[in-house]
Amino acid sequence: MSTSSSSRTPAAPPAPTVIVVDDDEALREALSSLFRSVGLRVELYGSAAELLAAKPPAVPRCLVLDIRLPGVSGLDFQSQIASSPMNMPIIFMTGHGDIPMTVRAMKAGAVDFLTKPFRDQDMLDAVATALENDRRQSEAEKASTDIRALYQSLTAREKEVMSLVTSGLMNKQVAAQINLSEITVKIHRGHVMRKMNAKSLADLVRMAETLGLGITKA
Amino acid sequence: MSTSSSSRTPAAPPAPTVIVVDDDEALREALSSLFRSVGLRVELYGSAAELLAAKPPAVPRCLVLDIRLPGVSGLDFQSQIASSPMNMPIIFMTGHGDIPMTVRAMKAGAVDFLTKPFRDQDMLDAVATALENDRRQSEAEKASTDIRALYQSLTAREKEVMSLVTSGLMNKQVAAQINLSEITVKIHRGHVMRKMNAKSLADLVRMAETLGLGITKA
DNA sequence: CCAAACTTCATACTTTGGTATATTTCGTGG
DNA sequence: CCACGAAATATACCAAAGTATGAAGTTTGG
């Protein structure tokens, strides 16, 4: 067993994980050995279905899979996973792939596309890049999600005022725009600042940017 | 004031251009015909050197080239062009390419990688995507460049004040931070607003974002 | 060396921004 | 029915931002 002596600390070490999906057990074991040799956690699956049944590991993580899988095609699996909470960077391996396949995979965001046999170092480099991408992506996503949650706690009026205020209008201009008195705008504005947990207008403007506010023209 | 009104058209027609580089004249002509048939401008070159000697056309434009070129490799040419003012989206064609080559090209940002023979529609789709990318990219770049120019017109003090103000500090806090009186900060701040042509603080904050201010390490 | 630009600060004043305290209206859900 | 939150508004007041005028020391390029 030899599980680590980690306790339930709030700031747990990230533990980067590589998920390998391949129907060739020998290759799975070889990759597992390779990844573990550089200190990475590894999960092995023989098919896409097995992976989907499991629960996704914590970030950072990435997927290493063969284009040719039992059941689903690797490319179909890629688009399938991209629009799921399992979404993570993918590195493809192939024994007999072709160029159109490669192009499609790369266009869909694959980190790399390695032809067997590949050099260990190439795989490790690809995995390092993938894990770093996943870390960044997940970080940005979390920040965005948090802000979006705060934003949803605003009332319709407050959202409206936030949009106009962060677009650079003065309180009196906002008031004129939506036919309110200036004092009412001030109150809504105050509520927005508190609810959004913004410490300054600059803060609020940045949040509005993240939310994509102001670009709501139709 | 001798010229009439027709000569001063601020919104000139974009005229999308496709630049084809291939040593096979027959293919060049075929592509030229294809692109012109859908209303695109076309420039033809037999080698990378010829293209580099010419002056880049106005946006939107894109490059269609064979991986195997006389002289330079298509991939080398790609990285060469990426770090030049000629930078534009690239679509590769290949008669006998391999997967590692494809991966390298796509990683370096190629829009597509077509194997000969390809369908006309595939090429046209790729070109349409490339032109749209170029338009967006060039638009974003121009906005960024303009703001950067304004920013460079600021004095050292003004840049400093802008950074602190857009990070959300009040004038008095900025003053304390850099050991000035509040009134002096107000003056610098006013100069910043005028020089940056910002109509509001929200405006200035967005410019600071574009400039990457606030992430000033070391 | 001198003019021009940069930097600093003060005083005085106006405009915005922000908060607090009330009051009124309206609609929803217990 | 009533409590409660949302919305709107007013009055009053204080804090912060912005502008104008004046002035003096420092840098810098021609």
pLDDT along chain B (218 residues), means of 10: 47 83 94 97 93 88 93 91 92 94 96 96 98 96 95 96 98 96 97 97 97 69
Give the model's pLDDT for residue B101.
95
Give the model's pLDDT for residue A173.
97
Q: Which of A25-34, A44-53, B71-80 has the highest mean pLDDT?
A: A25-34
pLDDT cut 90: percent of chain A above it: 81
The tokens of A55 are what?
Answer: 């629960």
Average pLDDT estimate for A145-159 = 95
Inter-chain residue contact A202 with B167, CB threshold 8 Å:
yes
Beta strand B61-66 with B41-45 is unpaired
pTM, two decimal places: 0.86
Give the model's pLDDT for residue B85.
85
Q: Is the CB of A156 under 7 A from strand D?
A: yes
Give the model's pLDDT for residue A2.
45
Give the model's pLDDT for residue B56.
84
Secondary structure (H, E, C), chain B? CCCCHHHCCCCCCCCCEEEEECCCHHHHHHHHHHHHHCCCEEEEECCHHHHHHCCCCCCCEEEEEECECCCCEHHHHHHHHHCCCCCCCEEEEECCCCHHHHHHHHHCCCCEEEECCCCHHHHHHHHHHHHHHHHHHHHHHHHHHHHHHHHHCCCHHHHHHHHHHHCCCCHHHHHHHCCCCHHHHHHHHHHHHHHHCCCCHHHHHHHHHHHCCCCCCC
Mutation target to probe the B interface, by most B beta carbons within 10 A, among A66, A99, A201 is A99
What chain B residue is nearest to A91 in terms of C-alpha separation? B103
Phi, psi angle pair for B192, to nearest 5° = -60, -45
CATH of region A17-139:
3.40.50.2300
Give the model's pLDDT for residue B132.
97
**Which residues on chain B are in Cβ contact (under 8 Å) with A166?**
202
**Strand D positions closer than 7 A to protein CB:** 6-12, 16-20
Nearest nucleotide, CA A186 to C1': C18
**Which residues on chain A are in Cβ contact (under 8 Å) with B165?**
202
Inter-chain residue contact A103 with B112, CB threshold 8 Å:
yes
What chain B residue is nearest to A111 in terms of C-alpha separation? B107
Nearest nucleotide, CA A154 to C1': D6
pLDDT of A190 above 70: yes
Closest Cβ–Cβ partner in A94, A168, A209 for B200: A168
Distance from CA of A10 to the nearest CA of B (A): 27
Nearest nucleotide, CA B161 to C1': C7
Q: Distance between CA atoms of A96 and A147, rounded to whole angstroms?
A: 45
Closest Cβ–Cβ partner in A112, A165, A205 for B205: A205
Inter-chain residue contact B201 with A203, CB threshold 8 Å:
no
Nearest nucleotide, CA B180 to C1': C8
- Is the sign of the CA dihedral A40, B103, B129, B114 positive or negative? negative
The tokens of A150 are what?
Answer: 């705060």
Write the pLDDT tens digit of every residue in A91-145.
999 998 999 999 999 999 999 999 999 999 999 999 999 999 999 999 999 999 9
The domain limits of chain A are 17-139, 153-211
Q: Confidence band (pLDDT; 50, 70, 90) for A12?
A: low
**Strand C positions closer than 7 A to protein CB:** 6-12, 16-21
Give the model's pLDDT for residue A1.
47
What is the architecture, at CATH level 2, of domain A153-211?
Orthogonal Bundle (1.10)
Write the pLDDT tens digit of every residue in A70-101.
888 899 999 999 998 889 999 999 998 999 99
Q: Is the CB of A201 under 7 A from strand C?
A: yes
Give the model's pLDDT for residue B10.
59
Give the model's pLDDT for residue A5.
47
User: B-side interface with A, Cβ within 8 Å?
Assistant: 94, 97-100, 102-103, 106-107, 112-113, 115, 165-170, 199-203, 205-206, 209
